[in-house]
């Protein structure tokens, strides 16, 4: 995910909720909320592109409708 959407390591680790270790875990309390949102939005777009490339059959997901609104 990280490379495909251009997220830095810190953001990717926060997205998957990995604990920070050592001195970074003690002093880096920034939550990267805006960066996580941007990375997850890019990840969503990438997944939609991948799914749209799959030939549609009766047993595959139809993506012709717009995605559900975000809450």
pLDDT in tens, 10-30: 999 999 988 889 998 899 999
Residue-level pLDDT at 71: 63
pTM: 0.67
Residue-level pLDDT at 32: 94
Residue-level pLDDT at 69: 66
- Residue 45: pLDDT band (50, 70, 90) is very high
Alpha-carbon gap, residue 36 to 31, rounded angstroms: 9
Alpha-carbon gap, residue 30 to 10, rounded angstroms: 10
Tokens of 59: 């047993």
Alpha-carbon gap, residue 29 to 12, rounded angstroms: 15
């Amino acid at each position: 995910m990280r490379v495909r959407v251009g997220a830095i390591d810190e953001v990717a680790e926060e997205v998957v909720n990995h604990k920070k270790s050592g001195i970074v875990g003690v002093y880096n309390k920034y939550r990267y909320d805006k960066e996580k949102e941007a990375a997850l939005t890019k990840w969503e777009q990438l997944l939609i592109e991948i799914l749209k490339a799959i030939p549609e059959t009766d047993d595959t997901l139809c993506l012709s409708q717009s995605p559900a609104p975000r809450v």
